[in-house]
Each structure stands twice: as C-alpha cells, then as structure tokens.
Amino acid sequence: MTPAEEAAYRARQRSRAIATAVVLGLLVVLFFAVTIAKQS
Amino acid sequence: MASHDNIAVKEAAAGYTPVALPADWRDFVALTKPRVMWLAVFTGMAGMLAAPGHLHPVLAFVAVLCIALGAGAAGALNQYWEAGLDARMRRTANRPLPAGRMEPGEALSFGVTLGFASVLLMGLAINWLAAAILAASILFYLGIYTMWLKPRTPQNIVIGGAAGAFPPLIGWAAVTGDVSMLPVLLFALIFLWTPPHFWALALFMKTDYAAAGIPMLPVVSGQRMTRIQIALYTVPMAIAALAPWLMKLTGAIYGGTALALTAVFAVLALRVALSRTSDPALMKPERQLFAFSIFYLFALFSALIIDRTLGA
C-alpha cells in the first residue's frame, strides 16, 4: 500500500466511523423520545 | 486516460495490485434508492394523515422513519440481488455494486440489518400489525418481485406493483391498528397505477431492458401490445382513483382533483396507445406519460391529505 493509498484508506475509514457514530447517537435520542412519547 | 492505462500496465507488470477502498457512506445511502424511498414515505404519510385518530408526533415520525428504512432495506437487497443485471444497463451501471465501490456481502448485511431494524422498531414503538405489513412489503418486493417475477415474466410489474402499494396500508395501520376500505382502495390505486407508469418507461428504455435480459412487456410482446395494455390498465386505475370519492370516503376536494388528474392521465395514455413510433428519441408522449404519472400520484395523495384534514 502506497502512502497516498493508505491516506485515502484511513480517510474513508474515518468518514465511515463518523457516519456510524452519528447514526448511533441519533438512535439513542430516538429511543429516548419514543420512551417519553409512549409514557405520555 | 492513456497515462492511466500506462500506469495500470506498469503496476500489473510489477505484480502490484491497487488497494480497494472501503465503501463510502454515500454508497450506502445510494444503495437504499432514496428517490424510490420518497414515494413510499409520501404515500405512507398520506395513509397516516388520512386515517381517523391521532398519533403522538414523535411516534408518527418513527412510523414514517420505519417505512423509509423498510423501503431502503428492500432497495439495498434488490441491488444486492441484481448487481449482475445492473451492470448491463446504462441507467444502473454506476450503482455502488456494479461499479465495484462496495462488496456484495456489505450490501447484503446492510440490507438485512436495515430490514430487521425497521420492522422491530415499528413493532415496538407503534404496533405489530403495521410491523407485519411492513415485513410483508419488504419480503414481497424481494422474494416475489425481484427474485421470482422480474427475471421470468412480462407480468413482473403487474403483480410486483403490490410491493410499492403497501405504504398507505402501513401508515393507516400505524394510526388505527387495523385496516379498512379506504387504505385498501389506496393500495389498489398504486397497484393499478404501476403498470402504465412502468410500461411507459419500458417503451423508451426497451433496449436497456433487452440488453439486461429482463422480460419487460415491450421486449417480450412488442410495443403495440404494450401501448394497448397501458390504455387498458388506465381504466381500472381510474376506477380505483375515483372510488374513494364515489363511495363517500372522501370529499369534493379529493373527488374534483381525482376527476381532473385522471382525465389528463387518460388522455396521455390514449396518446401513447395511438402512437406508432418505435424510435425512443421520438417517444415524447411516452416520456410525458411517465413524468405525469409521478406527478399524478403525488398530487392525488396531496389532495387526499388536504381533503381528509379539512373534512375531519
């Protein structure tokens, strides 16, 4: 793997990790909101 | 281009294999067919808003989200199954799988996870009837349409159209917990709208479908028969569009809109039926019918929402 390829690889991994973190964070908020809504 | 080829030749000679990058998150979004998803979301929302009763706004959002995720799962699994076909059609060759930007296993696990998550969330947060219909719609689209009908019969989109007709039923069931006559009529409307909509597209995309070996009606039975079938299917579609008004399930806003839009649809379908051209470049009526059919469904369901909201 050349340095340029490794940089591109790491950048792609980073963007996927951020996207996964955002989705998981939104799921936490969603489950919290659903719990509150079901109780009201 | 030539310099790239030279580099590739030198790399191959040196025994060097370029590293495949992991799929980008945008490729996962593309895998869900976002444009198709919007139609499912909109008709599902229309089913929810037309239903009698009330759903907490958060739960309503979750129900719509589940419909979107379910449609996305069906789209992803469809693309996984049809990667080979997609590679042979210009319109679909740049999708993540045929373009080589994603591994098939990634698409499969993404689609399965999305499908299970959408059904489970719908069941836990809303109700299990809506979840069951959502699961049925995903399985119908994948098993009945994609795997079984599409590669085998020109009736593929006639029966397969049912897969896209489920969202209003899901939306209605999410609010009421049951299914009654109006959502069934909305299901029938989308079901009967699908053949003229897709056959208009298939007429001017015939060469693409033929190249991929998909037995669409124009490929198998010819353009003349397809044009006649478009006109014939417009009749029951018109009845299904007007039925909610004729059965007094909706008011004059929906009735008037349905009458006017269905008349335009019928005129466009008739023009397609009477056309004789076989040159895709000259198929203006076919393109007009295809474009109008999308507007038709959006406008009709918008009128339904307004009608039911004002009439409530």
- The mean predicted confidence, pLDDT, of chain B is 90
Q: Do B25 and A40 touch (CB under 8 A)?
A: no
Read off the pTM: 0.86
Domains detected in chain B: 25-153 (1.10.357.140), 180-312 (1.20.120)
Q: What is the pLDDT of residues B193-223, one digit of tens each?
A: 999 999 999 998 888 888 878 888 888 888 9
Contacts of A23 in chain B (CB under 8 A): none
Where residue B216 falls (left for φ over 0; alpha for ψ -120 to 50; beta otherwise) is beta
Q: Do B24 and A16 touch (CB under 8 A)?
A: yes
Residue A33 burial (10 A CB sphere; 0-12, 13-18, 19+): middle
pLDDT of residue B134: 97
Most A CBs within 10 Å, among B16, B17, B21, B118, to test the A interface = B21
Q: What is the pLDDT of residues B94-141, one digit of tens each?
A: 999 999 899 999 999 999 999 999 999 999 999 999 999 999 999 999
Measured distance CA(B254)–CA(B270) in Å, rounded? 24
Contacts of B21 in chain A (CB under 8 A): 8-9, 12
Contacts of B69 in chain A (CB under 8 A): none
pLDDT of residue B71: 95
This complex has an ipTM of: 0.87
Measured distance CA(B49)–CA(B45) in Å, rounded? 6
Q: Is B116 on the interface with A (CB under 8 A)?
A: no
Range in A18-32, B103-117, B154-168, B250-264 the model is least confident about: B154-168
Q: Do B56 and A13 touch (CB under 8 A)?
A: no
Amino acid at B231: A
Of all residues in chain A, the one with the smallest CA distance to B29 is: A19
pLDDT of residue B89: 84
pLDDT at B280 over 60: yes
Mean pLDDT of B248-264: 96
Residues 6+ apart with CB under 8 A from B280: B203, B204, B205, B206, B207
pLDDT at B73 over 70: yes
Of all residues in chain B, the one with the smallest CA distance to A21 is: B25
pLDDT of residue B5: 47
Contact predicate B150/B156, CB 8 Å: yes
Chain A residues touching chain B at CB-CB below 8 Å: 1, 5, 8-9, 12-13, 15-16, 19, 30, 33-34, 36-38, 40
